[in-house]
Chains A and B, each alone.
Chain A
Amino acid sequence: MTTATIQPQEVQAKQAAVPPLVSKVALIGNPNSGKSSLFNQLTGLNQKVGNFPGVTVDKKTGYCQLSPTHKVQIIDLPGTYSLYPKSLDERVIIDLLYDPASRHFPDLVIVTADASNLKRNLLLYTQLADLKIPVVLALNMVDVAESEGVKIDVPALHRELGVPIIPMNARKGIGIAALKIIMSQQLEASRVSFYEIPDELIPVVQSIRQRFQLRNDYQALHYAHQYKSLKFLSEEDVAWIAGVLEAVDFHSHAQQANETIARYTRINELLLDVVRVEKVDKDEKFSNRLDQVLTHKVFGYLIFFAILFLIFQAIFAWASYPMDLIDRGITSLNGLIQDNFDGPLINLLTEGVIAGLGGVLVFVPQIAILFAFISILEETGYMARVTFMMDKIMRKFGLNGKSVVPLISGVACAVPAIMSARTIENWKDRMITIFVTPLMSCSARIPVYTVLIALVVPDKYYFGFMNLQGLVLMGLYLIGFLAAIFSALLLKTILKARERSYFIMEFPVYKMPRWKNVGITIIEKSKAFVFEAGKVIVAISVILWVLASYGPGNNFEQARVQAIAEAKANNLTPLQTENKIASYQLESSYAGIIGRTIEPAIRPLGYDWKIGIALLTSFAAREVFVGTISTIYSIGEEENVSTIKEKLMSEKDANGDPFFTPARSFSLMIFYLFAMQCVSTLAIVRRETKSWTWPAAQLLYMSGLAYVMAFITYHIFS
C-alpha cells in the first residue's frame, strides 16, 4: 500500500524537474476577436493584473494547467489591429515582443482571429509570423461565421500559413482542449513570409539587425519604425538609429502604408481559395437593424437613459435583500462575541474591526450589481454605440466619444477607469479625461450616499417602480457627471493640443454577454473592493479605536468624574450615566481633540468634530467614512448591535433634535461627491501621466470644489 501511494508522487517530482517546453504564452488579437473569452477559458479565476517592472503598464496574466505537471503563464495583450501601436495601450506589445532580453518574452503567441472577418484579422497574424515567433492561429467563431455564409477551408488555410490552426468557439469552450494540446508541444515559427522588405531599405535593416543581434530583418525593420518607443534602447542606440535612417531618407508613415497595402494584397490572394462567401445580401444583418433603433436620434438616447435608470434602481431595490442579510449577520456576530467574551481586546474587535469591516461588506451587493451592468454593457457591444452617440457632444467639452468609457467605468471605480483612458490616442483628450474621471461618483461613494440617503430621504415609490431614494442617488451621479464635463470644458481652454484627435473605431457585432466573463468580472472587482478597502479599514479602525479610547494625561479620568457628577445632579439612570461617561470620554480622547481642532474649519459646512474625524480618516479612501462613523458611534453606546442607520438616527444635537438633518446630510453627500479622497486614484494618475502636477492639481481642484459646494448645499437646505 505504502509503495503504491508513494510511487506516483515520485514520478511527478521527476517530471516537474524537467523544464517544460513552453512556459510563457502571449495572447494577441484584434479587438472583439474573442481574446478575453479565450483568456478566461484558459485561466478561469487564476488571473491577476500585474505591473510589469520598468514598463509601468498593467497587463493581465493568468495560469493554465495543461497537464498535472505542466503549467503555463498566459499573458493577455491589449486588442490591436497591427504591430504598429497607435495608442499607449497598444505600446505594451512592442515592449513585450521586441526586447530580446525581456524575461516576459513569450515562447508561443496565440493569435485570435474572428472567422467572419478573416481578411482584417490576418493582417496582425502576418506581421507576427514575419517576426518568426512560434504562432498558433485560434480561428474563433467559425460556426457563427458559417451561419452567416462565410465558409473557411481550414486545411487550405493551414497549407498557406504553415502554422497550427484551431477552429474554435471560445464563448462556448469549443476547441479549447485542442488548443491546450497544441500549446504543450514544441512549435517552430512558420517559414512562410508575407512581406518583402523593399530593396532600398535592406542595407539599413541589415545594419540594424547586426548591431542589435536580431533574429530577422523584419524585427530590424520594426526597430527602424519604433526606435523612439523602445524603452530598452540606450540614448546612444537611439541616436545611432536616427543617424542611419536620416542617411537613407526613411519615411516611417509612407513605409508603413506601403507595408500594410502589400500585406492586404497578399492576404487577398491567399484568401481567394480559402474563404467562400455564399450569402449575397449581408445588409440585413441583425446588428445593423438593431443599430437603427439603438443609435436612433431620439430612441437611442431614451434607451440609454432608461438603461442608466434601471441600473440605479437596481442598485437600490435589488441589493437591499442581500444587504439586510449581511447587515444582520454582522450584527449577530458582534452580539455573539460580546455576550460571550469581555475585555479591551474584545472591544477593539467588535467596536473597531468588525464595525468597520461590516460597514464595507454591506455594500458588496451594490458594487457587484454595478460591475455586472458595466461588464454586460461592454460585453454586448453596446458601449461602443454609446461612444458613437456621444462623440459630437463630448467633443464640445474637450473630450471625445472614447472618453465615455472611462467616465462610465468611473461610476464603478476611478482606478481602472483612468487606465482605460489609454485607448484614447490623443494626448489632450486623454489628459482631460483622466482629470475629470474621479468626479464621476465611484462605488466607494455608494456607502456614504446610501447611509445618508436612507436617513433623510423617505423610502417612497412613485408609479409603483420609481423609488425616490433611487432617484436621489441617480441625481447625485448626474451632478458628478455634469461636474466632470464642465471641468473638462474649463480644462479645454487651458490645455494646448499636441496632435489631432481622431475617432476611428470598429463597431462590434451585438452579442449575448458571456456570463462567465461577467461572473469573473463581478468576483474579481468585489474581491478587490473588499480586500483593498478592508486592509485600510482594519488599520484605520484599530488606530481610531485606540485614539478614541485613550486621552492625554488624566483628561479621561476627569471626563469620567465630571460626567458622574452631572449625572447625579440630573438624577440619571445608571444606563444614561454610562452613556454620558462614554460620550464625555470620547470628547476628551485623542480622537476628540483632533476632531475639535479641525472643527472651526468645517463648521461652515454644518459638520461637528465627530464628522471631522471621519473626514480625516476617509481622506485616503472614501468608504472608510462609514467604517469610521460606525466606530465612533459604537463607542459609548449601550448596545453595540444596532445598525449604522439606527446609530446615526439616534444622534442628537445640543438642542436634542436629530443631528443628521437634510441640510447636514446633503452637505456631506455633496462633499463626498466632489472631494478627491482616494489615494489609489492619485497614485494611478501619477503613474498614467508620469508627473506630480496632474494629481496635485486634481487634489486641489476637487477638494476646493467640494468645500464650496458643500457650503452652498448646507445653506440652501437649512
Chain B
Amino acid sequence: MRKRAEEQKEQKSVRDLKIGERGVICCLSDPEMGLKLLEMGCIPGTEVKLNSRAPFGDPITIIVNDYTLSLRLDEAETILLKK
C-alpha cells in the first residue's frame, strides 16, 4: 500500500484524468488486479480516455481499445500513465 502511494505521488494515473482527457498506459501497479485489467485490454502502450463518472463520482468509465470499461477509482489508480 505504501509503495503504491509513493508511486502515485510521482506518477499520474487514470484516476487523475479529467473527463475527455487521454493518456497512454505505462504500467499496472497492482499485480493481482492488473491481470484482469490486462485481459480487458489495458496493455502498456494503449491509449485510454476518461469517458464519464457515475453520479457519485465513483466508479468511472474509460474508453480503451474502442470500447467502454467501467472501474472504480481505486482500480483506476493502479493504471499508471506515461508522462
Contacts and interface: CB of A to CB of B under 8 A. Distances in A.
Interface string A480-523: 00000000000000000000101111110100000000000000
B68 A287 contact: yes
A549 B29 CA distance: 73
Contacts of A277: 66
Contacts of B43: 260-261, 264
Contacts of B71: 502-505
A680 interface: no
B39 A82 contact: yes
A30 to B, nearest CB: 10
Contacts of B44: 261
A504 B36 contact: yes
Contacts of A291: 52, 61, 68
Q: Which 6 pairs of residues, A with B, have the shortest CB-CB distance?
A: A297-B55, A507-B68, A260-B38, A392-B56, A81-B39, A120-B41
B76 to A, nearest CB: 10
A506 B68 contact: yes
Given A300-B55, A388-B61, A117 B66 contact: yes
A287 to B, nearest CB: 7
A128 interface: no
Contacts of A506: 40, 67-70
B19 to A, nearest CB: 10
10 contacts: A81-B40, A82-B39, A116-B66, A260-B35, A291-B52, A297-B55, A391-B72, A393-B56, A502-B71, A509-B67
A256 B75 contact: no
Looking at B36, B58, B65, which has the most chain A CB atoms within 10 Å of its CB?
A: B36
B34 interface: yes
Interface in A109-129: 116-117, 119-120, 123
Interface in A70-111: 81-82, 84, 86
A253 interface: yes
Interface string A289-305: 00110011100110000
Nearest to A251: B31
Given A260-B38, A388-B61, A389-B55, A254 B31 contact: yes
Interface of A: 81-82, 84, 86, 116-117, 119-120, 123, 253-254, 256-257, 260-261, 264, 277, 282-283, 287-288, 291-292, 295-297, 300-301, 384, 388-389, 391-393, 401, 500, 502-507, 509
B80 to A, nearest CB: 14
Contacts of B63: 283
B13 to A, nearest CB: 15
Contact of B55 (A86, A296, A503): A296
B65 A507 contact: no
Contacts, number: 109
A389 B59 CA distance: 8
B44 to A, nearest CB: 7
A504 B54 contact: no
Nearest to A392: B56
Nearest to B49: A283
A296 B58 CA distance: 13
Contacts of B31: 253-254, 257
Given A119-B41, A253-B32, A295-B55, 8 more contacts: A117-B67, A120-B40, A123-B39, A257-B35, A296-B55, A297-B55, A389-B54, A505-B70
A253 B57 CA distance: 31
A524 to B, nearest CB: 30
Main secondary structure of the interface of A (DSSP, over half): helix
Contact of B36 (A86, A254, A384): A86
B65 A117 contact: yes
Contacts of A116: 66
Contacts of B56: 297, 392-393
A503 B75 contact: yes
B51 interface: yes
Contacts of B26: none
Contacts of A500: 32-33
B27 to A, nearest CB: 10
Contacts of A392: 54-59
A271 B51 CA distance: 26
Contacts of B39: 81-82, 84, 123, 260
Contacts of B38: 257, 260-261, 264
A256 B35 CA distance: 7
Contacts of A384: 70
A388 B59 contact: yes
Contacts of A507: 61, 67-70
B21 to A, nearest CB: 13
Contact of B52 (A123, A257, A295, A391): A295
B17 to A, nearest CB: 15
A502 B32 CA distance: 11
B37 interface: yes
Contacts of A509: 67
A536 to B, nearest CB: 41
B52 A292 contact: yes
B41 to A, nearest CB: 5
A94 to B, nearest CB: 15
Nearest to B38: A260
A357 B38 CA distance: 53
A505 B54 CA distance: 14
B66 A282 contact: yes
Nearest to B71: A504
A451 B42 CA distance: 54
A391 B69 contact: no
Nearest to A265: B43
A391 B59 contact: yes
A504 B76 CA distance: 10
Nearest to B20: A283
A260 B37 CA distance: 10
Nearest to B57: A392
A522 B55 CA distance: 33
Contacts of A504: 33, 36-37, 40, 69-71, 75
A389 B60 CA distance: 10
Nearest to A505: B70
A295 B72 CA distance: 15
B58 A391 contact: yes
B64 to A, nearest CB: 9
A502 B34 contact: no
A296 B43 CA distance: 30
B43 to A, nearest CB: 5
Nearest to B62: A507
Given A81-B39, A300-B55, A257 B72 contact: no
Looking at A120, A389, A393, which has the most chain B CB atoms within 10 Å of its CB?
A: A120
Contacts of A84: 35, 39
